[in-house]
């Protein structure tokens, strides 16, 4: 019997663009080989992954096991064969909201850190912050009306990828300056979207350690953003993976949007940067109410719980209980703040950031007319910009950096949504995203390797620029 090709028809599905980070990941093995054939060492300045030095789980696993034992002891079970409640819940179906105790503990600690009170009933577990993005988009796309998502130019590639999944939604992007989105442009894009007959549910952003822009929004700009969104009745969706990966002093840390106005914001927390990326623990928090058909005002949280039950009905309770262990000290008392937990991670990232900033200044600081870069107050990235019109950071440029210099970086052009590239076809084609979070070495070797990577980057840039 001969095999036959079967043609399946799916007319509503369109081919989506692939993010720049995904394209780099796909092409890297071949580029690595080109570099290896020339005897070049690979320098990692591209990956946005948590560093292996801060994600070693062994100490945490010991603490988690002791915490679980403590939970069992607190139940006062008399029979050794009795099943502890936490263990039963960890391996059973759970509520869509996850274990109540985990939400209560997280609400107490997180709220105290950001000078506000969180209601645990308005915390919804998500599969990392990306799960929260997908949940929100899915909810508003269910309406069937044309949608406009407002976001920054540039913006997080994962958001663009999710937004482009729906044929009924499009992105209206807003240019940024050194403090955040340009307020006049934010107004213009909301009005343009509405004039085009589109419903504008929210403005999505990463205000702390912006990925990929490599800076944090000023306090003044955050307030201006809220004033505009309140005027137009638009939510702010605040993606906050780097709120604890902060290099600002305690008194200079800006408050997140949710602590400024919890009824206008949707806050997306992920444990991937402060804890461990593998379990994909995240929380969505909002106290917002929105009007639905018939002008009825309902809790956005209630709508999202319903949406979540159709998406991921049962979250992983063992992962949530594991995160709960991070919220307790060695004596199993609930911690007062997550900042001490973050400090172990910050030590590595702070060192790496200092090496990169110092290395760029020493290697390229003599030519401010040719190069500039952002000073990250949080997060993993800085954006490096060529000011010479003769250099274009396209695919060929990136390939040359890897294959001829052994340097892995991420180009910026694909972080700009399609409408931004229509306004300016050259946008992002003079920029690179440099990351200082990841390497394959630890301790003193990490510091040495990272310094060598920044020096190699500066040498390549000088060569390419004809210096």
In a domain, residue 11? The reply is no
The closest alpha carbon to 155, from 300, 21, 13, 51, belongs to 21
Assess whether 255 and 190 both reside in one domain.
yes
In a domain, residue 167? The reply is yes
Look at residue 9 in the predicted model and tell me its pLDDT. 44
Assess whether 293 and 178 both reside in one domain.
yes
The CATH number that applies at residue 152 is 3.40.640.10
Contacts of 47 (CB under 8 A, 6+ apart): 408, 435, 437, 438
Question: Where is pLDDT greater, at 164 or 9?
Answer: 164
In a domain, residue 132? The reply is yes
Confidence check: pLDDT of 24 > 90: no
The CATH number that applies at residue 407 is 3.90.1150.10
What's the number of domains the chain is made of? Answer: 2
Q: What distance in Å separates the CA atoms of residue 55 and residue 57, rounded to the nearest whole number?
A: 6
Segment 418-428 shows an average pLDDT of 96
411 forms beta bridges with 432
Tell me which of 326, 350, 371 is where a domain ends. Answer: 326
Q: What torsion, rounded to 10 degrees, do the Cα atoms 152, 155, 161, 166 define?
A: -10
Question: Beta 147-153 vs 265-270: how paired, if at all?
Answer: unpaired
Look at residue 27 in the predicted model and tell me its pLDDT. 55
Assess whether 123 and 30 both reside in one domain.
no
Give the C-alpha distances (Å, rounded to integers) separating 13 from 64, 166, 167, 219, 418. 44, 9, 8, 42, 19
424-452: pLDDT as tens digits: 999 999 999 999 998 888 999 999 999 99
Assess whether 95 and 152 both reside in one domain.
yes
Assess whether 209 and 141 both reside in one domain.
yes
Segment 271-285 shows an average pLDDT of 87
Give the C-alpha distances (Å, rounded to integers) separating 138 from 11, 286, 301, 313. 20, 16, 14, 15
Question: Beta 371-373 vs 296-299: how paired, if at all?
Answer: unpaired
Segment 179-195 shows an average pLDDT of 98
Neighbours of 413 (CB within 10 A): 21
Tell me which of 296, 326, 356 is where a domain ends. Answer: 326
Assess whether 269 and 294 both reside in one domain.
yes
Cα atoms in the Cβ-side hemisphere of radius 13 Å centred on 43: 28
Confidence of residue 456 (pLDDT cuts 50, 70, 90): very high
For the ranges 75-79, 300-304, 384-388, which has the lowest average pLDDT? 75-79
CB 241 within 8 A of CB 270: yes
Look at residue 30 in the predicted model and tell me its pLDDT. 64
Segment 298-324 shows an average pLDDT of 85
In a domain, residue 71? The reply is no
Q: What distance in Å separates the CA atoms of residue 174 and residue 274, rounded to the nearest whole number?
A: 29
CB 20 within 8 A of CB 155: no
End-to-end CA distance of the chain: 67
259-270: pLDDT as tens digits: 999 999 999 999
For the ranges 19-23, 164-168, 187-191, 216-220, which has the lowest average pLDDT? 19-23
Q: What distance in Å separates the CA atoms of residue 353 and residue 375, rounded to the nearest whole number?
A: 9
Tell me which of 326, 351, 367 is where a domain ends. Answer: 326
CB 374 within 8 A of CB 424: no
Percent of the chain surpassing pLDDT 90: 64
Look at residue 315 in the predicted model and tell me its pLDDT. 75
Assess whether 222 and 294 both reside in one domain.
yes
Assess whether 215 and 317 both reside in one domain.
yes
Percent of the chain surpassing pLDDT 70: 91
Confidence check: pLDDT of 415 > 90: yes
Segment 45-68 shows an average pLDDT of 88
In a domain, residue 113? The reply is yes
Neighbours of 298 (CB within 10 A): 11
Assess whether 209 and 288 both reside in one domain.
yes
Confidence check: pLDDT of 206 > 50: yes
Look at residue 207 in the predicted model and tell me its pLDDT. 97
For 136, the enclosing helix (H) or strand (E) is helix 128-141
The closest alpha carbon to 192, from 173, 164, 175, 167, belongs to 173
In a domain, residue 94? The reply is yes
Q: What distance in Å separates the CA atoms of residue 44 and residue 406, rounded to the nearest whole number?
A: 9
In a domain, residue 346? The reply is yes
The closest alpha carbon to 433, from 385, 398, 383, belongs to 383
Question: Where is pLDDT greater, at 333 or 272?
Answer: 333
Please tell me what DSSP assigns to residue 18.
P
Confidence of residue 25 (pLDDT cuts 50, 70, 90): low
Q: What distance in Å separates the CA atoms of residue 186 and residue 203, rounded to the nearest whole number?
A: 9
Look at residue 113 in the predicted model and tell me its pLDDT. 96
Confidence check: pLDDT of 14 > 70: no
98-112: pLDDT as tens digits: 889 999 999 999 999
Question: Beta 296-299 vs 289-292: how paired, if at all?
Answer: antiparallel
In a domain, residue 347? The reply is yes
For the ranges 12-26, 101-115, 119-133, 360-374, which has the lowest average pLDDT? 12-26
Give me the domain span that covers residue 294.
Answer: 86-326
Look at residue 15 in the predicted model and tell me its pLDDT. 47
335-388: pLDDT as tens digits: 999 999 999 889 999 999 999 999 999 999 999 999 999 999 999 999 999 999
Q: What distance in Å separates the CA atoms of residue 34 and residue 347, rounded to the nearest whole number?
A: 34
Assess whether 284 and 152 both reside in one domain.
yes
Q: What distance in Å separates the CA atoms of residue 387 and residue 368, rounded to the nearest whole number?
A: 9
CB 169 within 8 A of CB 137: yes
Q: What are the φ/ψ torsions at residue 237 (nearest 5 degrees)?
A: -100, 110
Assess whether 187 and 319 both reside in one domain.
yes
Assess whether 151 and 188 both reside in one domain.
yes
């Amino acid at each position: 019997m001969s095999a036959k090709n079967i043609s399946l028809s799916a007319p509503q599905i369109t081919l989506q663009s692939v993010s720049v980070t995904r394209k780099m990941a796909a092409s890297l093995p071949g580029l690595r080989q080109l570099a290896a054939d020339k005897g070049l060492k690979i320098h990692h300045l591209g990956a946005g992954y948590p560093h292996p030095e801060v994600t070693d789980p062994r100490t945490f696993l010991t603490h988690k096991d002791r915490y679980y034992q403590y939970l069992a002891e607190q139940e006062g079970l008399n029979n050794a064969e009795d099943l502890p409640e936490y263990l039963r819940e960890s391996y059973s179906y759970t509520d869509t909201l996850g274990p109540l105790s985990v939400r209560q503990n997280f609400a107490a600690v997180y709220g105290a850190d950001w000078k506000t009170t969180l209601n645990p009933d308005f915390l919804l577990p998500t599969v990392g912050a990306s799960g929260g993005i997908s949940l929100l988009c899915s909810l508003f796309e269910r309406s069937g009306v044309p949608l406009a998502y407002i976001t920054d130019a540039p913006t997080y590639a994962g958001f663009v990828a999710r937004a482009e999944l729906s044929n009924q939604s499009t992105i209206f992007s807003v240019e940024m300056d050194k403090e955040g989105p340009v307020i006049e442009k934010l107004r213009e894009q909301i009005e343009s979207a509405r004039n085009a007959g589109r419903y504008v549910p929210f403005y999505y952003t990463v205000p702390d350690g912006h990925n990929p822009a490599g800076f944090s929004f000023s306090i003044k700009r955050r307030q201006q953003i809220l004033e505009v969104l309140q005027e137009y009745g638009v939510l702010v969706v605040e993606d906050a993976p780097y709120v604890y990966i902060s290099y600002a002093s305690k008194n200079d840390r800006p408050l997140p949007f949710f602590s400024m106005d919890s009824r206008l914001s949707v806050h997306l927390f992920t444990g991937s940067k402060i804890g461990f990326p593998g379990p994909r623990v995240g929380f969505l928090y909002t106290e917002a109410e929105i009007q639905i058909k018939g002008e009825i005002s309902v809790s956005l949280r209630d709508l999202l719980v319903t949406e979540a039950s159709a998406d991921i009905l049962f979250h992983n309770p063992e992962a949530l209980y594991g995160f709960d262990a991070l919220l307790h000290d060695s004596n199993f008392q609930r911690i007062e703040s997550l900042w001490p937990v973050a400090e172990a991670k910050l030590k590595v990232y702070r060192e790496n950031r200092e090496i990169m900033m110092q290395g760029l200044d020493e290697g390229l600081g003599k030519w401010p007319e040719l190069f500039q870069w952002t000073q990250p107050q949080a997060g993993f990235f800085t954006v490096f910009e060529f000011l010479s019109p003769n250099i274009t950071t396209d695919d060929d440029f990136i390939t040359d950096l890897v294959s001829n210099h052994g340097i892995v970086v991420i180009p910026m052009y694909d972080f700009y949504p399609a409408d931004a590239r229509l306004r300016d076809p050259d946008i992002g084609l003079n920029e690179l995203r440099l990351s200082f979070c990841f390497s394959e070495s630890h301790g003193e070797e990490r510091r040495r390797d990272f310094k060598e990577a920044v020096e190699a980057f500066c040498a390549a840039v000088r060569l390419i620029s004809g210096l």
